[in-house]
Amino acid sequence: MGGMVALVGLALWWFTYKKKNQKLSSISLPNGTTVSVLRDSLNYKLAAYLASGSRDAPKTFDFDQVSFRPSSTDLRRGSVENLRVLATILKAYPDVEIHLMDHSESPVRLHTNQKHPVTNQKPSVDRANAAKAVLLASGIDPQRISTTGFGWSRPVETDQTEPDHAKNRWLDLTVMANKEMVQSRPTA
């Protein structure tokens, strides 16, 4: 028991240390706006991808700084601000369309297998739509954002332990191939 407490304490310390020591980067956007984002965050990677002029789409990014309270569509502290920064980036690239995809853990918490995984699809759709709502409230055109909730249909872990269970909760953002991207692709 003591070893488990020490392990959890070490993990919490490492997470806190890592967060405190991440470097902020200022990114200048084409519309003259500058955003400060953590290096290697979704917003950093997305801004770099869009600035590169790459026409490699669809391109998917993991939302590393957007999360929800357990069994809820309530965004955790900091997530709304990260979505607002995302909106600022999207405003600088008005032709970019995105698709938000939420994945959730098994509705079965480690001890029973009586529920069917599909039962987590509606909460998954609701979480994707909650993220979309923040972007819409930040001025992004609703025609630029689509959403999907996959529930537990695409787990990355077996869900046998609590850490595995947590790994099966995530949100993705995919930059879709819009008309400009398709037209500017080189032909073979």
Task: Tell me the pLDDT tens digit for each residue of 175-184.
Answer: 887 666 555 5
Look at residue 3 and tell me if it is in a domain: no
pLDDT band of residue 169 (cuts 50, 70, 90) is: low
What's 80's domain CATH number? 3.30.1330.60
Q: With 80 as the cut, is the pLDDT of residue 7 above it?
A: no
- The whole-angstrom separation of Cα 45 and Cα 181 is 18
Lowest pLDDT segment from 19-28, 123-132, 143-152, 161-170? 161-170
Look at residue 112 and tell me if it is in a domain: yes
Answer with the residue of higher pLDDT: 80 or 121: 80
Look at residue 139 and tell me if it is in a domain: yes
Look at residue 10 and tell me if it is in a domain: no
How remote is the C-alpha of 46 from its chain's centroid?
11
Look at residue 88 and tell me if it is in a domain: yes
Look at residue 100 and tell me if it is in a domain: yes
Nearest 10 degrees: Cα torsion 15, 47, 92, 73: -40
pLDDT band of residue 101 (cuts 50, 70, 90) is: confident
Average pLDDT over residues 43-66: 88
CB 35 within 8 A of CB 47: yes
Q: With 70 as the cut, is the pLDDT of residue 72 above it?
A: yes
How remote is the C-alpha of 44 from its chain's centroid?
12
Q: What is the pLDDT of residue 33?
A: 95
Q: What is the pLDDT of residue 66?
A: 83
Q: What is the pTM of this model?
A: 0.74
Look at residue 18 and tell me if it is in a domain: no
For the beta carbon of residue 65, count every other beta carbon within 10 angstroms: 20
Domain count, the chain: 1
Domain that holds residue 150: 24-184
Q: Look over the chain and give the mean of its residue pLDDT values, rounded to a whole number.
A: 77
Q: What is the pLDDT of residue 161?
A: 62
Q: With 70 as the cut, is the pLDDT of residue 92 above it?
A: yes
Look at residue 14 and tell me if it is in a domain: no
